[in-house]
Amino acid sequence: MTQTSASPDPIVTEIVRNGVIAITEEMKSNLMRTAYNMIIYEALDFTVGLFTEKGETISIGLGLPMFIRGMAETIKAKLDHYGTENIKPGDILLTNDAYITGSHLNHLTFSMPIFLDDELIGFACCMAHWPDIGGTLDGITTDIYSEGLQIPIVKYQREGVVNEEIVDIIRANVRLPDRAMGDLRAQLTAITTGERRYLELVKRYGRNQVAASISDIMDQSERAARARTLSIPDGVYVAESYMDDDGVSISDRIPIRVTVTVEGDEMTVDLSDVAEQVRGFYNSGITTGHACSQVAFKCITSPTDYPINDGSFRNLKAIVPPGRVISAVKPAPMRWWMTFPMTIVDTVFKALTPAIPERTIAGHHADLVIGMLNGINPKNNEFYIAFIGPTGGGWGAKQNEDGVSATVCINDGDTHNSPAEQLESKYPFLIENYALREDSGGAGEYRGGLGCENTVQA
């Protein structure tokens, strides 16, 4: 929304703050109610949000924290692609370009411009995981082309008219076209909800007052982040870690080195020494490289007191050169994009532990722990793709207490494991056991959290 010289009314600002949060919660709720696939409505593998006309984050409803940057950068890429003057009321923009979203091709991002009196004032956006986007079902991929259908930035809908040719292309490239169309319509429900509710808010309190309130909300988040950063001693903090393999070969560890610099109320996270992109499918795009820094930064500055918006990261600089495993370039495969970023977040915590041990934890299990089964379902003689998980694991101990047990990894955020009853009712397998793994937390004065074991009879 265009910035104005209007002074924010503090009461209206609080109404707007809670209003935009309520809007994103309603977007989430409507998506969950209408989605066809369990990975959306049960596991919550999605994110919704409201953004300014420039792509700045107003409010975001996170299922996965690593989406913290992806949707905003996707909107900015769409603006660059079309130009603001060529985005019209009734347009809906679509892409699953992994090198823009930062994740894999299964994450389709729909964005709807919000217009008031022919003026672009923002965007409503939804990124969600489709179980199938074509490509191989084998576990190992070595380039993006084998991972499925790539959709560049396109107008799925142009001034209210759906481009049916895009629909035909999608249907022709996925194994479960009817279910895919169900999830597509659910995402459209989410963004049209966001557009409608945001317009109601703007019309009620006025364009200028809402713009001033949003600017004030972002400034408050910035002040909170700066104040907490000031409490960290100035210095250069370095930590190293590694991943066991590159997704293809298990012969070499993949190094991770993080340098965090704190100067006053500013922080820089330098990921220049993270390994170059790898041959296997563990790569992610540059937006996820930035998201690693943002997730870690938010956790140690203002994890709960201020909701995420564009002001939350104004005092954070991330150095992410292209061509690294968290800033991969084409044709790097991206299917299992989320594993390295979680270890990088852990490594940022490790670097800062000498300075702020009370705000960090030891490393956690750092994996989604998802099993995928597919085949012909004897219950209906149809092809199926089923996801088992995400399965909780152990988190590292804190300075003065044990780590939490059976909790999803940091990338999974608000996600849930898929209920055994739902899985067993739909698919041809049995969940025999889902329990804490005894003595898996590691020894110490304060032990790590316990992991889980999940036994499936297929």
Cα-based distances in Å from 290 to 70, 238, 271: 9, 18, 9
Element (H, E) at 336: none
**458 residues of the chain, pLDDT tens digit each:** 555 557 889 999 999 999 999 999 999 999 999 999 999 999 899 999 999 999 999 999 877 888 889 999 999 999 999 999 999 999 999 999 999 999 999 999 999 999 999 999 999 999 999 999 999 987 789 999 999 999 999 999 999 999 999 999 999 999 999 999 999 999 999 999 999 999 999 999 999 999 999 999 999 999 999 999 999 999 999 999 999 999 888 878 899 999 999 999 999 999 999 999 999 999 999 999 999 999 999 999 988 888 899 999 999 999 999 999 999 999 999 999 998 999 999 999 999 999 999 999 999 998 888 888 999 999 899 999 998 988 889 999 998 999 999 999 888 888 888 889 989 999 999 999 999 999 998 888 899 999 999 899 98
- Helices H / strands E in the chain, number of each: 10, 15
Tell me what pLDDT residue 427 has: 93
Tell me what pLDDT residue 5 has: 59
Dist. CA 434–CA 418, nearest whole Å: 12
Tell me what pLDDT residue 122 has: 98
Q: In the β-sheet with 46-51, what is the strand arrangement from edge to edge?
A: 57-62, 46-51, 119-129, 107-116, 92-95, 154-158, 161-162
Tell me what pLDDT residue 1 has: 53
Tell me what pLDDT residue 231 has: 97
- Cβ atoms of residues 312 and 262 within 8 Å: no
- Cβ atoms of residues 23 and 198 within 8 Å: yes
Tell me what pLDDT residue 444 has: 85
Q: Where are the alpha helices (DSSP H) in 5-88?
A: 10-34, 38-41, 70-82
Dist. CA 280–CA 266, nearest whole Å: 35
Dist. CA 253–CA 169, nearest whole Å: 40
Element (H, E) at 185: helix 177-205
Within a 10 A sphere around the Cβ of 436, how many other Cβ atoms? 16
Tell me what pLDDT residue 367 has: 87
Q: Taking the domains of the chain in order of start, what are their residue ranges?
A: 10-219, 361-458
Tell me what pLDDT residue 4 has: 55
Tell me what pLDDT residue 103 has: 95
